[in-house]
Amino acid sequence: MDRTKLTKTDIASMSKAASLDLNDDRQEILLAIMSDTFGLLDTLKAIKPGETAPAFAFQAKWEKSS
Amino acid sequence: MSEMLGQSLASAAEQLRDGSLSPVELTRASLERVEQTEGKLNAYVRMSADYAMTAARQAEDEIKSGRYLGEMHGIPVAIKDLYDIAGLPTTCSSEVRHDHVAQHDSACVARLKTAGAIVIGKTHTHEFAYGISTPTTGNPWNPDYIPGGSSGGSGATVASRGCFMAMGSDTGGSIRIPAAVCGIVGLKPTYGRVSRAGVASLSWSLDHVGPLTRTVRDAAISLKWLAGYDPRDPGSANEPVGDYLSALDAGVKGLRIGVPQNFFFDHVDPQIEAATRKAIEHYESLGASIVEVNLPYADQIMGVEFGLCLPEASAYHQQMLRERADLYGEDVRAVLEAGELIPAVDYIQALRVRQMMKQAWSELYSKIDAMIAPSVVAPATRRGQENIDWGNGHEEPIKSAFVRLSAPANVTGLPSVAVPCGFSTEGLPLSFQVIGRPFDEAGILRIAQAYESAHDWHTRAPDL
């Protein structure tokens, strides 16, 4: 499935899922941007992370604010 | 331009300390210089002249009465308008934030004020730091060209001698890009080295803050006063602050300098490549050994950079985008909307690949002490230019082209300093960067200093 080939209907579906109201003009603008973005993100799919955990910043330890 | 503005921060600090220069004189000269250049550069969102002169008089009294605080005392500095300064608007150079007034100083501003620095104003950023051109502002070497971004205002004012140091932020290169194209030094410390508390976020996973200065020593001095753990910043690193000055002139003999064989020299302006390679030869002549290296996960660097930045930026702006969408500039609005449409699993994949990159770079650095590479792919481009033409029908949008060589140090969190290394045939600055180990800012500054002390690029000022 090639997600870099998008239609305005795809953009509308995605924006509905994000609760982001995009009119026809905005959907048109986002077609090229999302195509490029997914192209970049697809380069990450070549890497199999195995058991690698994400680089989250959360620390459970409580810190006092100064 | 007043002669007292042509010197480095370190030199001015010496004169302030021994009383041969007054903070009042120096601040007045800075303010006059900014007034002289603002018509061409538009580097500032706002000036704080009254505040600055009051602070300068206080600094003068303190120094005269023997209460000298250190190298930043009485030094005029500027602050990127992403940072909060109590009582002033933090506009992020955006209409969206025109009514946002800060309640408290950001951590860096508080540290600089405690050190006695004189804040003269707030500099333009590309809107919300989300871009590399800072369209409001001109490049001091040719105002028809961009000053880089997003810390373009800070780059322009330091290069034009309006102040001695300006704060920037760097999520995909936004300290190093303006430093590179404005011909000054830009230091992106290790992730977490300098507190981001009170700085508007672009991407929490990638945001770094740091100084733009005229010289490497000035950057080292600035970092001395800025570095330190801050629990208010969840990304702040509880690591001891290094000594950035005592070994600054130790040279590079015996150091192993990595030269990347992939990624960093792909599609780079030939003048920048030549200047960078000449710098590498210089290091070899000084006794460093040159080690050819290959960047791991080179094809994934931009995917991780944007896979993290886009969703995080959109998360930060989620409410404002729904309430004030029409107040955003079109370029920023579009990427914020795009970030909302990225699936969570892509974001998490970016975080996982980032972790793998971190491990791979750690192994890479078992063979080297630092890496030298070009800072940016090209000298400053014309304002309004959208693409770089690499020939053979290959064009690259400048907004991604200029991030390409700075992204590795954002994604890995490693410290990187941009160093001026010449001028193009069009008279525009060239720059290379030194990328070091985590929390080895002292190491990269020492390497940068070894180059700067043998050249005079940093002494040249634009003719404004």
User: pLDDT in tens for each of the 464 residues of chain B?
Assistant: 888 999 999 999 999 999 999 999 999 999 999 999 999 999 999 999 999 999 999 999 999 999 999 999 999 999 999 999 999 999 999 999 988 999 999 999 999 999 999 999 999 999 999 999 999 999 999 999 999 999 999 999 999 999 999 999 999 999 999 999 999 999 999 999 999 999 999 999 999 999 999 999 999 999 999 999 999 999 999 999 999 999 999 999 999 999 999 999 999 999 999 999 999 999 999 999 999 999 999 999 999 999 999 999 999 999 999 999 999 999 999 999 999 999 999 999 999 999 999 999 999 999 999 999 999 999 999 999 999 999 988 999 999 999 999 999 999 999 999 999 999 999 999 999 999 999 999 999 999 999 999 999 999 999 98
pLDDT score recorded for residue B160: 98
| DSSP bridge partners of B46 | B122
What is the structure's pLDDT at B316? 97
| Global model pTM greater than 0.95 | yes
**Pick the catalytic residue: B30, B174, B416, B431?**
B174
A65 touching B, CB under 8 A? yes
Chain B residue numbers touching A1 (CB-CB < 8 A): none
Q: B304, B328, B337: which to substitute to probe chain A, counting the most A Cβ within 10 Å?
A: B337
Which of chain A's residues have a Cβ under 8 Å away from the Cβ of B332? none
Measured between CA atoms, the residue of chain A closest to residue B296 is: A47
B335 interface with A at CB cutoff 8 Å: yes
Active site residue B40: no
pLDDT for A64: 59
Beta strands B44-47 and B118-123: pairing type? antiparallel
Q: Please tell me the predicted confidence (pLDDT) of residue B98.
A: 85
Which amino acid is located at B339 in the chain? G
Does the beta-carbon distance from B355 to A30 stay under 8 Å? no
Pairs across A and B, CB distance < 8 A: 98
Contacts of A14 in chain B (CB under 8 A): 341
Whether A26 and chain B come into contact, CB under 8 Å, resolves to yes
Among the listed residues B106, B133, B150, B314, the single catalytic one is B150
Q: Which backbone phi and psi does A22 adopt, to 5 degrees?
A: -115, 125
Note whether B381 and B388 are within 8 A (CB).
Answer: yes
Taking contacts as CB-CB distances below 8 angstroms, the residues of chain B near A7 are none
Whether the CB of A66 is below 8 Å from some CB of chain B: the reply is: yes
Chain A residues closer than 8 Å to B340 by CB: 15, 18, 20
Which residue in chain B is spatially nearest to A63 when comparing CA positions?
Answer: B231
Distance from CA of A1 to the nearest CA of B (A): 15
In the β-sheet with B256-260, what is the strand arrangement from edge to edge? B44-47, B118-123, B76-80, B165-170, B208-213, B185-188, B416-423, B429-435, B370-374, B256-260, B289-293
Q: Do B259 and B292 touch, CB atoms closer than 8 A?
A: yes
If you ran DSSP here, which 8-state letter would residue B210 be given?
Answer: E
Contact B58, B34 (CB under 8 A): no
Contact B180, B189 (CB under 8 A): no
What dihedral angle (degrees, nearest 10) is formed by the CA atoms of B227, B229, B231, B237?
100
* Residue B210: predicted pLDDT: 98
Q: How far is B2 from chain A (nearest CA, A)?
A: 41
Give residue B188's identity as a one-letter amino acid code.
K
For residue B52, the model assigns a pLDDT of 98
The answer to whether residue A54 scores a pLDDT higher than 90 is no
The yes-or-no verdict on residue A56 having pLDDT over 80 is: no
The confidence score (pLDDT) of residue A61 equals 67
In angstroms, the CA B368 to CA B292 distance is: 9
Is B150 marked active-site? yes
pLDDT of residue A66: 47
Question: Contacts of residue B335 in chain A, CB cutoff 8 Å?
Answer: 33
Whether chain A has a CB inside 8 Å of the CB on B331: the answer is: no
Residues 175-214 of B with CB under 8 A from A: 204-205
Those residues whose C-beta lies under 8 Å from the C-beta of residue B174, and which sit 6 or more positions away, are B125, B126, B129, B132, B149, B150, B151, B168
> Residue B406: its pLDDT value, please?
98
Expressed in percent and rounded to 5, the helix, strand and coil fractions of chain A are 50, 0, 50
